[in-house]
């Protein structure tokens, strides 16, 4: 393990808003999507990252960032950043700009794994306790239902950190959405090399990213998705997939010694289990990691069985299982898997 390197494990923030704006219908219910790019840049400056590519459809806008991704829906925003970004510093400016659109914060969820290089993280991400204090200081008082927890693992390097909050009217998860957050470490070295730019390659990040998407089979994970991808110099890769009102995203830090990849997607508790299993299997097979941790967030306690069925055929054995309930988020299930043996 390297003494210090690029931090692959992301911090993820999801904010939900509500409003009763008489102008919303005139603006086609665009909500947060009406934020101008200057305001978005101001938020990201606080976080210490920038936009490198963007795409949108009828439902939402997706941004590939210099450190991961951002998704903007009319009443929901998701920001996911890696490295030494200061993600939580986005809460205050986002709330401010949303208020200008007559939108009020009603739900918040912050999640992350255990950092590979925790001592390299700046304030307020120096430890989970500091993160929770910072979040609570920056949330409006109407979010009265709050909970923070570290979901344990047999290996403390793979614990899952969750903070969630909701107001009186949004303390329970009311929809059928399922969010899958997959973190993979110790990637297969041969496969990880595919996320390096070739020496002397003068292709742009967009062009090189498209090559990596095809070369690695990422484009086959969900053939229906429109993919916005980007390759970094000299290595690294990010992509956002858009499929109707659903997103998926992948981020790769391929350096040997601290290799890491993540896959995140959203589905429904009513989706066909076979489709979910195939999607998760395809995503993990791209990297063939030695260790996988998976968090599912939904209003169902049974989704974890689908995750287990997806990992077992890949030779990954479940080592840890934890379940907890969170306000406005629902049920969070955390599982870790390790390869029986590396070939």
**10 Å Cβ neighbour count for 85?**
26
User: How far is residue 78's CA from residue 64's CA, in Å, rounded to a whole number?
Assistant: 12
Given the residues 125, 161, 170, 251, the one annotated as active site = 251
Looking at residue 3, its pLDDT comes to: 52
Q: If you average pLDDT over residues 303-310, what whole number do you get? A: 88
- 51 CB neighbour count, 10 Å cutoff: 14
Q: Establish whether the linkage from the previous residue to 124 is cis, with ω within 30° of 0.
A: yes
DSSP state of 87: G
State yes or no: is 238 an active-site residue.
yes
In angstroms, the CA 19 to CA 102 distance is 6
Taking all residues of the chain, what is their mean pLDDT, rounded to a whole number?
Answer: 92
Q: Model confidence over 331-343: pLDDT tens digits?
A: 999 999 999 765 4
What is residue 1's predicted lDDT score, i.e. its pLDDT?
40
Confirm whether 181 is a catalytic residue: no
Q: Which of 7, 14, 186, 255 is catalytic?
A: 7
pLDDT one-digit tens code per residue, 29-57 = 899 999 999 999 999 999 999 999 999 99
Q: What percent of the chain has pLDDT over 70?
A: 95
251 is a catalytic site residue = yes
Residue 226 has pLDDT above 50, yes or no: yes
d(CA 131, CA 288) in angstroms, rounded, equals 32
Q: Which of 49, 82, 106, 228 is catalytic?
A: 82
Cis amide linkage into residue 234, ω under 30° from 0: yes
pLDDT tens, 65-85? 999 999 999 999 999 999 999
Catalytic residue among 24, 53, 68, 298: 68
Is residue 308 over pLDDT 80? yes
Cα 108 to Cα 139: distance, rounded to the nearest angstrom: 9
Q: Which residue bears the tokens 């923030």?
A: 13
User: Catalytic residue at 136?
Assistant: no
Give the model confidence (pLDDT) of 97-125 as tens digits.
999 999 999 999 999 999 988 999 999 99
Whether 238 and 68 have beta carbons less than 8 Å apart is answered as yes
Query: Cα–chain-centroid distance for residue 72?
Result: 13
Q: Which of 24, 53, 114, 238 is catalytic?
A: 238
Q: What pLDDT digit, counting tens, does each position of 128-175 carry? A: 999 999 999 999 999 999 999 999 888 878 899 999 999 988 877 777
Helix, strand, or coil (residue 6): coil
Q: What pLDDT shows up at residue 26?
A: 40
Q: Give residue 2's pLDDT.
A: 45
pTM, full prediction: 0.94
Asked whether the beta carbons of 335 and 308 are under 8 A apart, the reply is: yes
Q: How confident is the model at residue 307 (pLDDT cuts 50, 70, 90)?
A: very high
Q: Which residue has the higher pLDDT, 311 or 269?
A: 311
């Amino acid at each position: 393990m390297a003494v210090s390197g690029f931090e692959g494990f992301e911090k993820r923030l999801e904010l939900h808003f509500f409003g009763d704006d008489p102008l919303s219908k005139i603006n086609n219910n665009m909500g947060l999507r009406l934020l101008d790019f200057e305001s978005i840049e101001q938020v990201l400056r606080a976080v210490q990252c920038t936009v490198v590519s963007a795409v949108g459809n009828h439902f939402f806008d997706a941004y590939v960032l210099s450190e991961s991704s951002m998704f903007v829906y009319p009443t929901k925003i998701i920001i996911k950043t890696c490295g030494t970004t200061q993600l939580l510093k986005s809460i205050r400016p986002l709330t401010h700009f949303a208020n200008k659109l007559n939108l009020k914060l009603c739900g918040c969820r912050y999640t992350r794994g255990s950092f590979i290089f925790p001592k390299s993280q700046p304030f307020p991400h120096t430890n989970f306790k500091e993160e929770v204090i910072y979040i609570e200081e920056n949330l409006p008082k109407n979010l009265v239902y709050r909970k923070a927890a570290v979901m344990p693992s047999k290996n403390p390097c793979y614990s899952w950190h969750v903070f969630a909050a909701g107001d009186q009217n949004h303390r329970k998860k009311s929809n059928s959405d399922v969010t899958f957050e997959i973190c993979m470490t110790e990637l297969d070295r041969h496969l990880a090399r595919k996320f390096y730019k070739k020496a002397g390659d003068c292709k742009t990040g967009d062009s090189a990213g498209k090559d990596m998407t095809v070369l690695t089979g990422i484009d086959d994970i969900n053939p229906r998705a429109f993919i916005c991808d980007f390759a970094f110099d000299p290595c690294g890769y990010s992509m956002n997939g858009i499929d109707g009102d659903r997103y998926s995203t992948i981020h790769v830090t391929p350096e040997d010694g601290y290799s890491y990849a993540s896959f995140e997607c959203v589905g429904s508790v009513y989706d066909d289990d076979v489709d979910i299993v195939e999607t998760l299997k395809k995503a993990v097979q791209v990297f063939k990691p030695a260790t996988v941790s998976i968090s599912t967030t939904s209003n169902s306690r049974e989704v974890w069985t689908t995750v287990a069925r997806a990992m077992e055929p890949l030779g990954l054995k479940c080592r840890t299982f934890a379940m907890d309930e969170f306000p406005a988020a629902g049920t969070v299930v955390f599982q870790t898997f390790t390869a029986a043996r590396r070939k």
